[in-house]
Structure formats: C-alpha cells, structure tokens
Amino acid sequence: MDLDEQAEIQRVATRHPNQPLLVMLGSANADSAEIAALTVTTGDPTFAGPLAGVPLGLPVYHVLESEVKAVIPPEVFSEQVGMMELVLDVAAIEAALRRVRQEAGVDSSPS
C-alpha cells in the first residue's frame, strides 16, 4: 500500500467516522496483504506513511477470501478475479488476514 493510498484511506475514515467502512485488498501474496491489513487496522508497521502510528481499526478483507466470494455474484467473481484464485496462495492470504483481524479486534463481516 503506497503513501497516496494510505492518505486516501485516512481521509475517507476521517470524513466518515460514523459510517461502516471496510477495506478490500487484492494483494498478490500473504506478506503484502498482512502489511496492508496491519496498516489500516493498527497503523503502518513500516512507519513510512501517513498511517504510521494511526490505528484506524478498519475491518479488512482480501477479495479472494471465502466470506467475500460468497457475496459476489459468481459470474462477476469469475470474470474479475477468477484467475487470481487459481494462481495465488489463497489459504495463506486468508490466514494472514484472519490473524490480523483477530489481533486487532476488527472481525466484522463483508456482507
């Protein structure tokens, strides 16, 4: 997650503090998904961006997680991200994001 993306997420979260927000990731591996998830929950772990030390506490999911896939029409999922599901380590990505959500206490549903 680059610095501009961090700034935009912070801007949206600040402008809409009472709205239910959810961050959706499309990271290609578990490590990058975990860093992005930590960034929007407990703050940028690299201390390089605008969210360094800023715990937004936002729920975060990856587009390939089963909870997300369940709420997307199958034809849309297949067309938009179906290939990703075939080539990425979905189990590792899911495990990383579940761990971050659990540790940060932001385990809300994407539905």
Residue 106 pLDDT > 80: yes
Helix (H, G, I), strand (E, B) or coil at 14: helix
Q: Check residue 111 and give its pLDDT.
A: 63
The pTM of the full predicted model, rounded to 2 decimals, is 0.90
Residue from 19, 30, 17 nearest 96 by CA: 30
Q: State mean pLDDT over 74-101.
A: 96
Dump pLDDT digits (tens) for 6-42. 999 999 999 999 999 999 999 999 999 999 999 999 9
Instruction: Decide: 57 and 104 in contact? Cβ < 8 Å.
Output: yes
Domains in the chain: boundaries: 3-104
